Amino acid sequence: MEKEIICTVCPTGCVMHVVGTETLIESIEGYTCPRGKKYGEYEFLAPVRILTSTVKSNEGRLIPCRSKNPLPKGKVLDCMEVLRGVTVTLPIKRGDVIVADILGTGIDIVATGE
Amino acid sequence: MYEITCDVAIVGGGPAGLAAAAAAKKEGTEKVIIIERDETLGGILQQCIHPGFGLKLFKEELTGPEYYGRFVDKVKELGVETLMNSMVLEIEKNTVVCMNKEHGITNVNTKSIVLAMGCRERTRANIMIPGTRPAGIYTAGSAQRLMNRQNEMVGKKVVILGSGDIGMIMARRMTLEGAEVVAVVELNNFLAGLTRNKVQCLDDFGIPLLLSHTITNIKGNDRVEGVVVSKVDEATKKVIAGSEQFFECDTLLLSVGLIPENELTRKAEIEISSITNGPVVNQYMQTSIPSVFACGNVVHVNDLVDNVSTESAIAGASAAKFAKGELGGGEEISVKTGENVRYVCPQRVVGGGGKVDFYFRVMAPKGQSVIAAKDGDKVLCSRKTIKVNPGEIEKITVDLGGVREIVIESREA
Ligand SMILES: Cc1cc2nc3c(=O)[nH]c(=O)nc-3n(C[C@H](O)[C@H](O)[C@H](O)COP(=O)(O)OP(=O)(O)OC[C@H]3O[C@@H](n4cnc5c(N)ncnc54)[C@H](O)[C@@H]3O)c2cc1C
Ligand code: SF4
């Protein structure tokens, strides 16, 4: 497998070229600093993203929410599906858990607004 | 008429106004008041539910509501007062006139003022696309507001004009909500927004980015039915005949830039820069009326709210010092733009030593460059960068001691 990865750690946006398998990196080129190299490795083997969305509340108003930590990228759309079916009961505070351990990822969906 | 008296009055309760208020209060000012037209604080960040805020300031990735939430907690704790549901109509040297929902016309008498009204989006009228006027055309920010605050899905098949950050963020948001984003169309041969947003909002979902393209016609009677997209010449930006393609879609989002909201500033006859469309300021964020300060997107459009907060803290602290009669002046040093620099903020400085952070944007994207501040032939400071991009604000810090003139440039190495 070969992938071109643009580093998003800093605005320089170095373009890395990574070769490897699903579990192993054979070569990685194009990074400028160690933080970028680490990002490239993660992005190649197990890319993750923070998911943000909104959920309905019992008063109709939308409540913004996020995954507390980044989720596996491949799970993002499935998690959206779960959130579409959720209605929270107000009042709610920033940081309150809306869905615990979403889809068995070990990651909570929490409110970001009230 | 309802009358209020305070030391520092802040117009706008977005991130800029909040940071300015906190800083003014920390200077030991007795009465700081935020005047906001909305019923809630937070400004544009209330609809920015996505992450990407606070990486610089808090070293963690926050969403918009989490970011301003921290500042709202802080201003409350510090005892900043607020006047909500109050649309400011006019400012003068020492008064702010607003229309308050409860009290009607209200006069706020103050020793100094901080302008923090943010910016608004450019619309179709600003960029002039021919074609019909069907429903289904939104600015990216208004679509964001409809979706994230009013739960209204704006369309199912979308084309986005402009590769600004808001447009790219909406491309992801709409895809996650089940819409199809056909393409993002950009006139320039480079990205307008941040690279991070291209990776996480477009590449992640396989959304094509068409550089050096534009929309030349909009089709549809009641509702948008599609758009005609044409290639443009990279250098002249002229449409290349025969390159038209038709893209079917029911929605067109415009993400073609932001303009500082400066009606009030103009009315007060404060000097405005024709490049940034915001007031000309010195390093204290002081405008051409000494008692009036300005910060945030009303001064120049920032891509990172972290910079807004930093700059606004300077404005707030300076306004507080002015109110106490402690803000010094000095001889004016001119700040000029050199090679490949479109604008520099602050545009002027008053001497007397000390370090000043200058923020600037380049004119054109370039590879390895040397960014420098010069006084005549003397290099005051310089640094190397791997590349420069108009989409990303650069910063350079200059020590003013003994300097007569400052020219900021970005020269390709
Ligand atoms: C859609 C979008 C996405 C963004 N994404 C990011 C991102 O991912 N990361 C990041 O770091 N930054 C991002 N930014 C930038 C950041 O949000 C802005 O830089 C920041 O919000 C600017 O703050 P401000 O206080 O100057 O303006 P605003 O947030 O616009 O606040 C201005 C306030 O002034 C009030 N006001 C205006 N006129 C009047 C009046 N006449 N009387 C009373 N009140 C008035 C308004 O109601 C508003 O509350 C984004 C911006 C937008 C628009
Ligand atoms: S590799 Fe290092 S320098 Fe390059 S973009 Fe990533 S963090 Fe920045």
Residue A104 and residue A59 share a domain: yes
Burial class (CB in 10 A: 0-12, 13-18, 19+), B190: middle
Give the total number of structural domains in chain A: 2
- What's the complex ipTM? 0.89
Query: Closest-CA residue in chain A for B200?
Result: A49
Residues of chain A neighbouring B64 (CB-CB closer than 8 A): 64
Rounded to whole angstroms, the Cα distance separating B137 from B57 reads 36
Cα B110 to averaged position of ligand 2 atoms, centre (Å): 47
Rounded to whole angstroms, the Cα distance separating B54 from A109 reads 20
Residue A87 and residue A67 share a domain: yes
Q: Is A106 in the pocket of ligand 2 (CB under 6 A)?
A: no
Question: What percent of chain A stands above pLDDT 90?
Answer: 88
Cα B49 to averaged position of ligand 2 atoms, centre (Å): 26
Residue A59 and residue A18 share a domain: no
CA distance to partner chain A, nearest, from residue B394 (Å): 10
Do β-strands B104-115 and B292-294 pair in parallel, antiparallel, or remain unpaired?
parallel
Confidence of residue B1 (pLDDT cuts 50, 70, 90): confident
Residue A67 and residue A41 share a domain: no
B237 to A109, B58, B184, B211, B312: CA distances (angstroms): 45, 41, 17, 11, 37
pLDDT digits (tens, 9 = 90+) for B86-144: 999 999 999 999 999 999 999 999 999 999 999 998 876 666 777 778 899 999 999 99
Q: Which residue, of A46, A64, A82, is where some domain finishes?
A: A46
B294 in Cβ contact with B279 (< 8 Å): yes
Q: Which atom of ligand 1 is nearest to the CA of B88?
A: 42
Q: Is A16 in the pocket of ligand 2 (CB under 6 A)?
A: no
Residue A69 and residue A36 share a domain: no
The pLDDT of residue B126 is 64
Q: Which residue, of A13, A29, A46, is where some domain finishes?
A: A46
Q: Quick one: how far is CA B357 from the chain centroid?
A: 18
Residue A57 and residue A39 share a domain: no
Secondary structure (3-state) at B137: strand
Residue A90 and residue A58 share a domain: yes
The pLDDT of residue B304 is 86
Specify the CATH number for the domain of residue A71: 3.10.530.10
Residue A80 and residue A40 share a domain: no
B85 to A10, A48, B8, B11, B145: CA distances (angstroms): 39, 41, 19, 12, 19
B301 to B81, B83, B343: CA distances (angstroms): 27, 25, 11
pLDDT digits (tens, 9 = 90+) for B12-35: 999 999 999 999 999 999 999 999
Residue A62 and residue A88 share a domain: yes
Residues of chain A neighbouring B148 (CB-CB closer than 8 A): 54, 62, 64
- For residue A25, give its domain range: 2-46
B172 in Cβ contact with B196 (< 8 Å): no
**In this structure, what are the phi and psi dihedrals at residue A34, rounded to the nearest 5 degrees?**
-60, -35
Which helix (H) or strand (E) segment holds residue B90: the answer is strand B86-91
pLDDT digits (tens, 9 = 90+) for A33-74: 999 999 999 999 999 999 999 999 999 889 999 999 999 999
Q: Is A12 in the pocket of ligand 2 (CB under 6 A)?
A: yes
Residue A56 and residue A103 share a domain: yes
The pLDDT of residue A82 is 96
Rounded to whole angstroms, the Cα distance separating B394 from B246 reads 38
**In this structure, what are the phi and psi dihedrals at residue B374, rounded to the nearest 5 degrees?**
-125, 155
Rounded to whole angstroms, the Cα distance separating A17 from B148 reads 37
The pLDDT of residue A73 is 93
**Global pTM value:** 0.90
- Find, among B312, B314, B294, the residue nearest to B354 by Cα: B314
Residue A105 and residue A56 share a domain: yes
Rounded to whole angstroms, the Cα distance separating A36 from A10 reads 8
Residue A57 and residue A16 share a domain: no
